[in-house]
Amino acid sequence: MKKIMAIVAHPDDEIIGVGGTLAKHVANGDNVFVLILGEGKSSRLKEYQLLNNETKNIILKETEKALSIIGIKEYKCLEFPDNRFDTLPLLDIIKTVSGYIKINEPEIIYTHHFGDLNIDHRITFESVIISSRTIESSFVKEIYLFETLSSTEMSGSVPQRYFIPNYFIKINDYLEKKLEAMKAYISEVREFPHPRSIEAIKYNALLWGSKNNTTAMEAFYCFRKID
């Protein structure tokens, strides 16, 4: 049994980016923990304010249902302000992430790609990499960066920020679970051709699969692998 962590910025990122792989880990008997740092909705308000209880409950119910579909029981949802991670002291975010990493001692971590357009995604990546340095978290043997549709591909023609995957995980048997889990995020799903639509998420998995002569895959950039 392996210890796995997915550390993401917003509710639904864990399903879009790595949902099929997490479902596969669960099926293989691995211990999976999901850490969601931000509340994911306040940036849509005209002016920033704390979310009301009704909105918070919607977020929690959608997240709970989505994670239960792929079989995850252990998770934590925090409430960092949406698309405003850069207004917080980076050290505070790092200490938060580091604390959960030390408690869970994962062998494998999945998190956002460093080139994402979304500021919260980039800060999440940076916090994870700093928190999992081998000098203090030697138990972290592998770190994989995933794409987040509607963010990763929107970063523009900047070669240093391209998502160039070099590691692929077959999710033929878990694609339907991934899509069903995404449907649980009713407030986040959009109509096709939006990249955060059910169809786009499915087609993306099928495309990566086809490129590797199989049905469906999730793609990653391997940031660290220590044998």
What is the rounded distance in angstroms from the CA atom of residue 192 to the CA atom of residue 182? Answer: 14
Residue 49 predicted with pLDDT over 90:
no
Question: Which of 218, 121, 220, 219 has its CA nearest to residue 179?
Answer: 218
Q: Which amino acid is at 31?
A: N
Q: Are 165 and 132 in contact (CB under 8 A)?
A: no
pLDDT tens digits, one per residue of 73-85: 999 999 999 999 9
On average, the pLDDT of the chain sits at: 96
DSSP annotation of 71 reads T
Residue 217 predicted with pLDDT over 90:
yes
What's the mean pLDDT in 137-161? 94
Gap between the terminal Cα atoms of the chain: 16
Would you state the structure tokens that stand for residue 67, as one six-digit string? Answer: 């994670």
pLDDT tens digits, one per residue of 181-207: 999 999 999 999 999 999 999 999 999
What is the rounded distance in angstroms from the CA atom of residue 81 to the CA atom of residue 62? Answer: 18
pLDDT higher at 23 or 41: 23
Would you state the structure tokens that stand for residue 115, as one six-digit string? Answer: 């080139």
In the chain, domain spans: 3-168+219-225
pLDDT attached to residue 192: 97
pLDDT attached to residue 44: 84
Residue 156 predicted with pLDDT over 90:
no
Would you state the structure tokens that stand for residue 223, as one six-digit string? Answer: 């940031």
- The confidence band for 87, taking pLDDT boundaries of 50, 70 and 90, is very high
Would you state the structure tokens that stand for residue 170, as one six-digit string? Answer: 């077959």
Q: What CATH number was assigned to the domain covering residues 3-168+219-225? A: 3.40.50.10320
Q: Which amino acid is at 203?
A: Y
- The confidence band for 169, taking pLDDT boundaries of 50, 70 and 90, is very high
pTM, 2 dp:
0.97
Is the Cα torsion angle 208, 160, 38, 192 positive or negative in sign?
negative
pLDDT tens digits, one per residue of 174-186: 999 999 999 999 9
What's the mean pLDDT in 2-10? 98
